[in-house]
Structure 1
């Protein structure tokens, strides 16, 4: 039986869910995923053959530098092989000319063969080029994986070095996606540069022989190859621009694949029929990408055909010139034989340089996108927006002063003129309805976000002036949405930081209630927390929340931020957390966010937010007696729980 997902069309929604005749994707526009950076597209459209000629030397130099950084021995070996190939090719061509001269001259054939013996020996020695080619393949194979991993690592480091708010910046994710493609093709840059170097070495040999035989032939050969050069560059440009224009749609395809294939979304994919719906969306989006790429391939093929035709006409002129030199007596028969070999070698080399050079330039454009992202993370690098002052001692006071914050593209401020402070030894709770700005305020206090206006200070030092990584050593965060990392329980708790001994981890597990999980884990703290690999185990949502709490309790941080820390816990586990919170707050500043208002009774102060502004502040006893938003929400929750009539 064929499942709904594997059919050509996704299943129809239940009757009554949409108007008759309405498209299933009503309201979804393909242009939402188009690449928006017009300046980058304009720059790509201006890439020409002249640009290629100017960039080729720098690209070859860059590829050598990249290879040198990851494997100097292999880089030296490649350069030696390319030089050796060029020298052997030149000697072989000269030997061919000498051999032909000896064979076509008058005299005894045996004597002529003995005269040609040295040249024949050189021709045989030129067969070492095959061995050098094998060495080039081996050395390039050594470099490719190392270069690829190194490029991926630099991308990850650049992304981690970007501001948290970068993902909300227009164009950032497109820039990352394009740069990531550049990282993936970085090994191709070295391989294609080797092809260009090999063709250049062989061309140098052929050019030397042609120049010796007759100086007119070499410039004619270069002129004959110009049409193909222009065609190859234009084709490469069209394909590159198509990649830019479809980058947003390809990124969306990747996200859809991830959601449809992995466990995190597997329930909605099936029970909510999201899978069949997204399969249809994927097909339509993929079809639009395929159409754009097919169009680019067709244009490139027509350009290549036009270049080949023009190149064929020009090559005919070169061979006609050779026949004219021979017929007019300006070149001897023996020399013409060597010229034929040299022309064939040089023609193949020039075409190799043009073809390889066009591919190298196209790859170079991608690699340049990668390098641009590494330079400043699309203008979002923390190195450009923050200071470098270290946090030498654990801060005592964390303060928000007259802060306003607006997310990029948002119609209004998420926070407006907010001031708040929390000291070590104090618990401050943030309360408010959804969208009131609680999580945004906590991220500002952590230094994860920088305010649009106002200042966030740790002991009078602005977070904008502090080194961010040094600052975060003093922060423990329990986020509302946490990640299930496929690591051991020990690594998930410590991330390699602090006291990693069993005693320290078990103490944190006792505080969070995670100690109750340990007897059920195959290898205790060393159990891999995923079922995707043999020996691993999958945790429930509540167990993962206990683990995240364990991580926060284990960190000896001055600021502890808990954003809905017990949303997935049962009543007993939740009571345990809040009962022990006062003990944890003895030497920490605790910022607590929760919608369960009875839990904030443990707080020293409660701050109530409404539409990005602080509207109330006080103790639990005060706010439950005063008219206002807190009391309204508190009474509503009590009625829902049956505490009041």
Structure 2
């Protein structure tokens, strides 16, 4: 399931235009009353349940064990992108803690003359040096915190970009077989969440470490004043901390149990609001059902969030009550120490300031410790996934290949991961430069798998595929792909200029002149269309962006073919290259293929059997094996020919 985060509120509950309006109760929106009853969407659940269990089992001890690991992972990631900012944050944190300690010590010194006998002027004059030190220390601490915040704001986007770039790069370098592994997509989604939360982790780590520094500073002062005070302070803060942990569990449980519903709702929302499907939604009267479906998903998310509000309130109230009870105990302890003469009044005033500082720091530690624990689970997913994908990246051999004159498949078979039956049975085949080869077969016959093997997008599980005698398993994959031009069934509508949509994939495309770009466009019949665009080759092809323009489906397909032809590849593979083209565009493309055939091996995968007549050689696949091969005339004349049967069916339409 594709992960799509959606933070949109439920759709506005305005009355639908086709609402019957039979119920006039103001509390029930008309849109809800108007829609017909439909089969509700199935309940969905996210596969990452181990995170739910981890949050449910989160104790202070478990958090204390796991949070340092999350801090270390965050520090390593931050250190790798900007060491100067990391050092700035660390130094600023230490200065902030030092400023707190100096300020509390200075306050203690200032309190003595302030509560002693004498005139107000004399008291103030005696306390002035200590007050100045306290003010300067407080200013230094505040300035250090501001600098740390500035450094974190500079570090955050770098951390987020580094995490995102790493995971995108590894996805693009992974073997295609990795995508076929069971659970790969789920693990990828969890890792993407970790990458998204990397920026939050950096900010949370700063706040958490600042709380630790402030706590150490304040606790040191309290311990010096009287060891009992630190223990009483801990009692006053721990209930709130435990309440924070339990509240975090509730929040996460609600988040986890609505994750799949929110993800699917987000995907559906895009489909409901994009212009790409607007015609189908309206003309086929899908609106009522789809809105009802979307409303049901909104209600489920809303209901579970509301259900979590009650327990959250109870836990928060109980934690606050216990914390308040123990806070009163701390004030009572201070009063008892002063009344019994075990602590001077001046020291009691300092203890109050220190306890407030330590309390805020401890609350911050508990709160952000729970947040770090939560985010750290996903950051762990991120690092685990990176380790996994690094072992699956395309790293085969070092042999360098050139544009092939001959491609041989010897006893080749391929079985997808977690499958028992092979997609391709053992087959042998030879393709030669100058040939136009047509690949024909029913859906699931193995055509796409064969294309992947010929172009080294994947390696056979049995046998060898070789270019001019070089086994592709021992060749550098990038050196192979430099000589491949591929037009797959699903090609990109890249939101780039028309020029880049043609030159995309060339390592030094900017060094080429536009004459070559125009030549590739002319070969597929796109030159006239591109010249009519406002900026010609410089026109942005993305209607959703201001100033962008859109092409038709057939024009996009021609552009994809131009992109492959521009590469002047040694192996040109076109998978259903004319499925969206008109007859003129189809004719022009195949005429260009015939004209340029001598310079390359050309493979065309098609279901349009009239097109296979132009091929020099036809390969018919059936159930993962070669059923027959030869010229069009040979196969049509052959008894029990599958091509002959399919061709006859195509002519009867």
User: Is TM more than 0.5 here?
Assistant: yes
Taking a change above 3 Å as real, the CA distance of residues 10 and 624 of structure 1, as seen in their structure-2 partners, is farther
CA contact (8 A) 1:234 1:303 kept: yes
Asked if 1:420 is matched to 2:420, the reply is no
- Range that drifts further, 88-97 or 147-156: 147-156
Residues 442-521 of structure 1: pairs in structure 2 closer than 5 A: 442-451=451-460, 453-459=462-468, 461-495=470-504, 497=506, 499=509, 500-521=512-533
Taking a change above 3 Å as real, the CA distance of residues 233 and 162 of structure 1, as seen in their structure-2 partners, is farther
Match of 2:560 in 1: 548
CA distance in 2, matches of 1:84, 1:58: 24
Q: How far off its partner does 1:358 sit?
A: 1.6
Query: Number of matched residues?
Result: 625
Asked if 1:564 is matched to 2:576, the reply is yes
The alignment's TM-score, normalised by the length of structure 2, stands at 0.87
Match of 2:106 in 1: 95
What whole-Å deviation, never above 9, does each CA across 1:323-356 have from its counterpart, x for those lacking one? 3323332222221221111111111211111112
CA distance in 2, matches of 1:219, 1:315: 11
Match of 2:643 in 1: 630
Asked if 1:25 is matched to 2:35, the reply is no
CA contact (8 A) 1:428 1:604 kept: yes
Taking a change above 3 Å as real, the CA distance of residues 524 and 215 of structure 1, as seen in their structure-2 partners, is same
CA contact (8 A) 1:10 1:277 kept: no
CA distance in 1, matches of 2:560, 2:515: 18
CA distance in 2, matches of 1:11, 1:575: 51
Match of 2:549 in 1: 537
CA distance in 2, matches of 1:300, 1:389: 59
Match of 1:429 in 2: 438
Taking a change above 3 Å as real, the CA distance of residues 25 and 611 of structure 1, as seen in their structure-2 partners, is farther
Residues 92-241 of structure 1: pairs in structure 2 closer than 5 A: 92-128=103-139, 129-241=141-253
CA distance in 2, matches of 1:636, 1:211: 92
CA distance in 1, matches of 2:69, 2:335: 39
Q: How far off its partner does 1:164 sit?
A: 3.3
What whole-Å deviation, never above 9, does each CA across 1:20-44 have from its counterpart, x for those lacking one? xxx6337x522xx322355555455
Taking a change above 3 Å as real, the CA distance of residues 588 and 343 of structure 1, as seen in their structure-2 partners, is same
Which runs of no fewer than 5 residues in structure 1 stay unpaired? 14-22, 641-645
CA distance in 1, matches of 2:302, 2:231: 42
Taking a change above 3 Å as real, the CA distance of residues 238 and 409 of structure 1, as seen in their structure-2 partners, is farther
Taking a change above 3 Å as real, the CA distance of residues 433 and 518 of structure 1, as seen in their structure-2 partners, is same
Aligned residue for 2:341, secondary structure, equals coil
Taking a change above 3 Å as real, the CA distance of residues 531 and 107 of structure 1, as seen in their structure-2 partners, is closer
The alignment's TM-score, normalised by the length of structure 1, stands at 0.88
Aligned residue for 2:227, secondary structure, equals coil
Taking a change above 3 Å as real, the CA distance of residues 448 and 293 of structure 1, as seen in their structure-2 partners, is farther
Match of 1:74 in 2: 85
Q: How far off its partner does 1:609 sit?
A: 1.7
- Range that drifts further, 2-11 or 617-626: 2-11
Match of 1:17 in 2: none
Match of 1:397 in 2: 406
Taking a change above 3 Å as real, the CA distance of residues 115 and 37 of structure 1, as seen in their structure-2 partners, is closer
Match of 2:95 in 1: 84
Q: How far off its partner does 1:315 sit?
A: 3.1
Taking a change above 3 Å as real, the CA distance of residues 635 and 37 of structure 1, as seen in their structure-2 partners, is same
CA contact (8 A) 1:36 1:171 kept: no
What whole-Å deviation, never above 9, does each CA across 1:265-316 have from its counterpart, x for those lacking one? 3332332234443332222223333444444555444444443333333333
Taking a change above 3 Å as real, the CA distance of residues 468 and 35 of structure 1, as seen in their structure-2 partners, is farther
Which of 63, 69, 74 is residue 63 of structure 1 equivalent to?
74
Match of 2:22 in 1: none
CA distance in 2, matches of 1:50, 1:2: 54
CA contact (8 A) 1:456 1:463 kept: yes
CA distance in 1, matches of 2:616, 2:451: 17
